[in-house]
Amino acid sequence: MPHLPPDPHIAALTELPNVGPAVARRLLALGISSPQQLRGQDPDELYERSCALAGRREDLCLLDTLAAVVDVANGGPARPWWDYSRERKAAAHG
């Protein structure tokens, strides 16, 4: 099997905090191929679209990761995705 060159879009997306190859592939499936395209996006909408593409409810950690990367794309500080999990859970109980 020939060795394929790395996908430049995956490489660019994985430079974002909290984004590994699996999340980068999900972003590509959503039509996001660069960090700049995340600016102004709604993490909840991206999550719902990802669930629709997968044909099932995705783990809520994906929602938290999407919130983290959209925040960074909008100029916010890099924070771990689990900070967003804590905030989401607190808002649900609060």
In a domain, 37, yes or no: yes
In a domain, 3, yes or no: no
Angle at 83 between CA 38 and CA 33, to 5 degrees: 20
Q: Is residue 62 domain-resident?
A: yes
- Around Cβ 2, how many Cβ atoms within 10 Å? 3
Residue 25: domain span: 8-92
Tens digit of pLDDT for each residue in 63-76? 999 999 999 999 99
Burial 19-43 (b: 16+ CB within 10 A, else e): beeebbebbeebebbebeebeebeb
Question: What are 11-54's pLDDT values in tens digits?
Answer: 999 999 999 999 999 999 999 999 999 999 999 999 999 999 99
Residue 79 domain-assigned (yes or no)? yes
CATH number, domain at 39? 1.10.150
Total structural domains within the chain: 1
Q: Please tell me the predicted confidence (pLDDT) of residue 94.
A: 74
CA dihedral in degrees (51, 41, 79, 55; nearest 10)? 0
pTM for the whole thing?
A: 0.90
Residue 85 lies in a domain: yes
Is 1 part of any domain? Answer: no
